[in-house]
Amino acid sequence: MKTNQVIQNNYDYIVVGAGSSGCVIASRLSEDPKVSVLLLEAGAVDRSWMIDMPLAVERLLTGTKYNWAYKSAPDESIGGRTIDHPRGKVLGGSSSINGMVYTRGNALDYENWKTTYGCEGWGYPSVLPYFKKAEKSLSGRNTYRGDDGPLYVTKPDLTANPINQAFMVAGAQAGYPVTTDSNGFQQEGFGPNEATIYKGKRWSAARAYLPDSVRQRDNLHIATNSLVSKIVLNGKVAKGVIFERDTSVYKVNANRETILCGGAFNSPQLLQLSGIGPADVLKDAGIDVAHELPGVGANLQDHPDIVIKFKCKLPLGLANHLHFPRKQLTGLSWFIKQAGVAASNQFEAAAYLRSDAGVKYPNLKFELLPLAFKGHSLDPYEGHSFQIHLTLMRTHSRGYLAVRSADPKMPPTIKFNYLSDNRDVEILRKAIRMAREVVGQAAFQEIAGQEFEPGINIDTDEDIERWIRNNVGTAFHPSCTCRMGTADDVMAVVTPDLKVRGIKSLRVVDASVMPEVIASNTNAPTIMIAERAADLIRGRLLPAEHQAYFVSPTWETAQR
């Protein structure tokens, strides 16, 4: 494996950030031996058992070795609480520390990008070929799925866990649809939750797009532990970057383009550090304004997450594996054979649902975990338990990101304004009642016991709202801080070709360019964005594919 080679003075392309998008961009651009690519990553290399083992995700999210460990600013709308926001600081970025869930979003998400925000080329027919190009679905190829891409995608066996089975059957008993593939024709309904796991190991963007054969390319240089502090500008043209590694400072030129792939936090942060952003934010931070662009850092979105938790009346789920000797045997099974409980992320069953009649496509995700944790901790309840994450897929609340100084090592202010719009609270309140109804079905009769949290005494609208505001967390999907839009959209940061408005030779390619966050986890869509961006840069876009997609025929009048 070749990393941290001697840095040249000039490259055709400089890619900043080796996360879900940066790995894709660097890999795809360096397929052309005629161009040179430098990939810069502030974190370390990605060779660790903690990254490889799917069930070790908690160590990654709570540690700091591979994690930026950001915290949101206090939000008055949730009682002044701050919320931890782990982000990957390692090759693979957040795909090396995330929950490995592979979900694409709904077709109407992308149609909305096109029709509402004028993002031509980002409608569902245009993005579908890139989802297919990226993936190697172990369930096989069809009109919606690919089987020859670098990203392995596996479908769990829901019959192996009775709690998963009960969840699926209960959803149908409650009148909800069932889908065999939420990433294919029909997202809506109860179905298996696919994962970027292969042969019991995490399949991150780094593992998929930067295998040793790619890292060995002579025209690709990868520099880890390299913190970019500034984009070098010559007037309104990006000429390269300045970065620090091992106490040395480097200035490197980009002959063609500089491409930011830092994600929803680091890409707007670097733009602002470079003098590109809202004038008031830059002046308050003591940074000279090089190019006023008010949308940089604005429009911050996430998926708020609440968790309903139950006692399990039968000896099922992960509690069996928490104590000696089963805990040790579980670890041993993975280390020897990459098999057993530790070879799964355990988020195997999920549902995409609509909260109300008149909602055209799912705005909620329910996700089952066969173990319940107390409060905001990672301390499990005694005995057997399970919990269901209730995640709001489209929020009305908006936040912002703003640098506080010209020091690149100082974390920016990250203000989400969670639940500042009461409509978000109303939908989550309905989600709790919907989840209780599902767990109240016959399929759960022998399994579900006491409701630990919120608890059946929390039942009035007022009590439920108070509990939600005191307990809401995050699904770890920050996005939209460098959003796409038309060239005359004053709050757009990039145009649909992902070029920064008003600055030449500079693009942003990551989850920050989403105009609105999609109705799913964000890793798969971010990889898709990067696949399409690489072809945009190389001038060889795949033809659109017009495939049907599911919309409930009764969505205007029925919630299910």
At 139-193, the pLDDT tens digits run 999 999 999 999 999 999 998 899 999 999 999 999 999 999 999 999 999 999 9
For residue 356, give every residue at least 6 positions away whose Cβ sits within 8 Å of its Cβ, in sequence order, or none. 427, 430, 559
Q: Is the dihedral of CA 318, 319, 320, 326 positive or negative?
A: positive
At 112-123, the pLDDT tens digits run 999 999 999 999
Among the options 291, 384, 477, 546, which is catalytic? Answer: 477
**What's the pLDDT score for residue 323?**
87
**What's the pLDDT score for residue 4?**
61
Length in residues, the chain: 560
At 269-323, the pLDDT tens digits run 999 999 999 999 999 999 999 999 999 999 999 999 999 999 999 999 999 898 8
For residue 493, give every residue at least 6 positions away whose Cβ sits within 8 Å of its Cβ, in sequence order, or none. 268, 271, 293, 295, 296, 481, 482, 483, 484, 485, 500, 501, 508, 512, 513
**What's the pLDDT score for residue 5?**
65
Tell me the Ramachandran region of residue 271: left when phi exceeds 0, alpha when psi lies from -120 to 50, beta otherwise: alpha
**What's the pLDDT score for residue 1?**
57
At 239-252, the pLDDT tens digits run 999 999 999 999 99
Kind and range of the H or E element at 541?
none
Which residue spans within 326-447 are E strands per DSSP?
A: 349-353, 364-369, 385-392, 400-402, 413-415
pTM above 0.95, yes or no: yes
CATH number of 10-538, picked from 3.40.50.720, 2.60.40.10, 3.50.50.60, 3.90.1150.10: 3.50.50.60
- 8 Å CB contact between 381 and 308: no
* Annotation says 477 is catalytic: yes
pLDDT band at 32 (very low <50, low <70, confident <90, very high): very high
At 356-379, the pLDDT tens digits run 999 999 999 999 999 999 998 889
pLDDT band at 442 (very low <50, low <70, confident <90, very high): very high
